[in-house]
Chains A and B, each alone.
Chain A
């Protein structure tokens, strides 16, 4: 059976369950956090921010910004304006009524206009704050200890120009122009209060965040995210993604976003044999099945041994990244492929823009990445050159609730 058939069957098989979950979710105060409606509009408000368990859209424009102002009121005012513009854009509207073609032809249009006529395209805008946000605004007492910067991992070659940031906005959409338009307009409104530190475009989601989605492939050609946490698993999300009582009031129901720009040396990878590729990953390339199974969703048997040792090698990626190898820790991954042209030396500047949402980066992401950085056979083909971590506040209540309200109150 082809993967496509499998996923279609799963889709139909789960449609009823999904509806039941959505009903339960609504009773608990949220929709199936942002499952797109027929018109491609994802609900902007809810218990959690959209863009986390929302079925991963195909395109990403992620931007990290630095505060250029230490004026708390100015920052709060910007976040209020951002919220209003973001909410409008997620419904396929301009940032302001008549913004793209203003009545006054001498006025610079308030909306840049490149999304005019395009549908909402499942646009989600997810907002987070980095460690420096608290320093610059003099509210260090509100920064949770989990929002420390990530430690340096073995082999990291981090570029400061692709790392860190006081704020982030993740724009995901089915249409790249819609995502770019959203970020462009928010960045524009931020001039004078924020400046862009770095940004990343992504295509081809590299994981599924819903059982309704087929598992996509990364640029190594392998299925990625088979065992990802999914929207349909609320208990696991509560356990691994949503910040609970351990977090500050302003963050409960929120999450932490870990971003890593992982350059993939695809030219050398492409010259390695299929067997080596599968041994490094721990899955077969065609089906995506663990080397101990035959179908994608077969559970990996990490104890199985063959004539030359473990069937799933000790240094294979899926073993080292597994919950079993990491004290049960899991995460919701939401990464995207990227190709940023060439590196000027004839190789594609390509890779994976890794995005994961976790309840605690220090106990979930850090130990796993430390293990991978030290032992993963895949590391030979990877180079981590961007890194950032942000706290992502919970979703917004109806009416005039806006980004950063509880944080800056």
Chain B
């Protein structure tokens, strides 16, 4: 999403509220788990997601996820419409991580482990009983939305930095096959939050520029796609290591800056739409990953990022237009189901392995989804 220069006064005040709320979150008291005061344990393997309880009282919950499998995994807690209540990314084999999440309302939620960091994951219902006190006025709802999405961005950036470092390290070590395998994975975290990342106009071209982009004099072709070309087409170059260092420095710079970014509900809604526009113009055409043809990884990540932004706004959407949410659910699911059909292992089929019928079906599904997503901005500001 591009920086909004004409922000309505009401939205500006929401931004402040969002920032305050986000601040509150970071000073939240020590979290309590289910009943006994300890964390809810999650034993994640490559094929299972065992949770010590399927029920907890409303409030602040702590999930302790241990990855006993061989694949890097993720853990999510979703509300209706796949609204992300909280998630932990990039849990390597043998590692244990905590997810602390506020769940003020009772109801049915969904837990998911995602071995291989892909797809819908291994899901199970999770019941929350009772309710904690919460503000219900519309402004607070929108403030919660932006704060929730901000947490999502922070978590993605939290995985983007180390994954990109791993990728850069592999390039510098001359480990071409390892770097090729890490390339689409590192980019997944970038692609999920691309509109936020793109709002920093100076670093986006350095990180995600294409070879044929217009540049200012003296500015070279750097970033993911330059390394992509080195890995897949020309072979590693004398300056590949320097380019890799530059990429990690730029990503670190991005991470610092996203911590201070302030988002409005309209930016969330437009960001969700822009991610789908990215899919329609860059991924369905195979334009973006023209050397590696790993466009479907980016496609999936854009859709996931879009869904996260829309989901953050879901309570307001449901309040203002009850018919829209179910349509969004159905259309997101249609796109994700279509993508599932192109899975190969933990990844996806290459763009060059798609037929014109495949890309046509994707275009139709993305168009079908983009139309209701384009209604979100109007709905949440109604």
Q: Tell me if B344 counts as interface (CB < 8 A to partner A).
A: no
- Please, how many angstroms separate the alpha-carbon atoms of A193 and B327 in the complex? 11
Q: Tell me if B55 counts as interface (CB < 8 A to partner A).
A: no
A106 contacts B266, CB within 8 Å? yes
A107 contacts B377, CB within 8 Å? yes
- Please, how many angstroms separate the alpha-carbon atoms of A192 and B375 in the complex? 14
A106 contacts B367, CB within 8 Å? no
With both chains docked as a complex, state the minimum distance between the C-beta of B323 and any C-beta of chain A, in angstroms: 11
A104 contacts B368, CB within 8 Å? no
Q: Tell me if B331 counts as interface (CB < 8 A to partner A).
A: yes
Residues facing B in A191-240 (CB within 8 A) are: 191-193, 195
Query: Which residue of chain A is the closest to B375 with respect to CB atoms?
Result: A108
A104 contacts B367, CB within 8 Å? no
Residues facing A in B353-371 (CB within 8 A) are: 363-364, 367-371
B364 contacts A107, CB within 8 Å? no
- Please, how many angstroms separate the alpha-carbon atoms of A329 and B269 in the complex? 58
B266 contacts A192, CB within 8 Å? no
Residues facing A in B337-382 (CB within 8 A) are: 363-364, 367-372, 374-375, 377-379, 381-382
Query: Which residue of chain A is the closest to B377 with respect to CB atoms?
Result: A106
Q: Mark A94-128, 1 if CB is under 8 A from B, else 0.
A: 00000000101011100000000000000000000
Given A68-B364, A192-B327, A107 and B371 touching (CB < 8 A)?
no
| Cβ–Cβ < 8 Å partners of B377 in chain A | 106-108
Query: Which residue of chain B is the closest to A69 with respect to CB atoms?
Result: B368
A102 contacts B378, CB within 8 Å? yes
Q: Mark B115-127, 1 if CB is under 8 A from A, else 0.
A: 0000000000000
Given A192-B327, A192-B372, A108 and B378 touching (CB < 8 A)?
yes
A188 contacts B371, CB within 8 Å? yes
With both chains docked as a complex, state the minimum distance between the C-beta of B269 and any C-beta of chain A, in angstroms: 8
A195 contacts B371, CB within 8 Å? no
B381 contacts A104, CB within 8 Å? yes
- Please, how many angstroms separate the alpha-carbon atoms of A195 and B364 in the complex? 6
A106 contacts B381, CB within 8 Å? yes
B382 contacts A192, CB within 8 Å? no
- Please, how many angstroms separate the alpha-carbon atoms of A242 and B381 in the complex? 50
**Looking at chain A, what size class is its interface with the partner chain?**
10 to 19
| Residue from the list B327, B368, B374 in contact with A68, Cβ < 8 A | B368
**Looking at chain B, what size class is its interface with the partner chain?**
10 to 19
| Cβ–Cβ < 8 Å partners of A104 in chain B | 378, 381-382
- Please, how many angstroms separate the alpha-carbon atoms of A389 and B378 in the complex? 40
Query: Which residue of chain A is the closest to B266 with respect to CB atoms?
Result: A106
B375 contacts A195, CB within 8 Å? no
B378 contacts A192, CB within 8 Å? no
| Cβ–Cβ < 8 Å partners of A188 in chain B | 371
| Cβ–Cβ < 8 Å partners of B378 in chain A | 102, 104, 106-108
A191 contacts B370, CB within 8 Å? yes
With both chains docked as a complex, state the minimum distance between the C-beta of B169 and any C-beta of chain A, in angstroms: 43
With both chains docked as a complex, state the minimum distance between the C-beta of A193 and any C-beta of chain B, in angstroms: 8
Residues facing B in A136-193 (CB within 8 A) are: 188, 191-193
Given A107-B375, A108-B374, A191 and B367 touching (CB < 8 A)?
yes
Query: Which residue of chain A is the closest to B366 with respect to CB atoms?
Result: A191
B381 contacts A192, CB within 8 Å? no
Query: Which residue of chain A is the closest to B6 with respect to CB atoms?
Result: A105
With both chains docked as a complex, state the minimum distance between the C-beta of B4 and any C-beta of chain A, in angstroms: 10
> Which of the listed residues A106, A191, A195 has the most CB atoms from chain B within 10 Å of its own CB?
A106
Residues facing B in A58-110 (CB within 8 A) are: 68, 102, 104, 106-108
With both chains docked as a complex, state the minimum distance between the C-beta of A112 and any C-beta of chain B, in angstroms: 12
With both chains docked as a complex, state the minimum distance between the C-beta of B369 and any C-beta of chain A, in angstroms: 8
B381 contacts A191, CB within 8 Å? no
- Please, how many angstroms separate the alpha-carbon atoms of A193 and B330 in the complex? 12
Residues facing A in B241-298 (CB within 8 A) are: 266, 269
Query: Which residue of chain B is the closest to A193 with respect to CB atoms?
Result: B368
| Cβ–Cβ < 8 Å partners of A195 in chain B | 363-364, 367-368
- Please, how many angstroms separate the alpha-carbon atoms of A195 and B370 in the complex? 13
- Please, how many angstroms separate the alpha-carbon atoms of A104 and B380 in the complex? 10
Query: Which residue of chain A is the closest to B373 with respect to CB atoms?
Result: A108
- Please, how many angstroms separate the alpha-carbon atoms of A129 and B182 in the complex? 49
Q: Mark A294-317, 1 if CB is under 8 A from B, else 0.
A: 000000000000000000000000
Query: Which residue of chain A is the closest to B11 with respect to CB atoms?
Result: A106
B331 contacts A192, CB within 8 Å? yes
Q: Mark B307-344, 1 if CB is under 8 A from A, else 0.
A: 00000000000000000000100010000000000000
Chosen A-B contacts, 11 in total, with CB atoms closer than 8 Å, are: A104-B378, A104-B382, A106-B266, A107-B377, A107-B379, A107-B381, A191-B367, A192-B331, A192-B367, A192-B372, A195-B368
List 16 additional A-B contacts (Cβ < 8 Å) besides A68-B364, A102-B378, A191-B368. Answer: A104-B381, A104-B382, A106-B266, A106-B269, A107-B378, A107-B382, A108-B374, A108-B378, A188-B371, A192-B327, A192-B331, A192-B367, A192-B371, A193-B368, A195-B363, A195-B368
Q: Across the A-B interface, give the 5 residue pairs with the lowest CB-CB distance, nearest first.
A: A107-B378, A192-B368, A195-B364, A191-B371, A108-B374
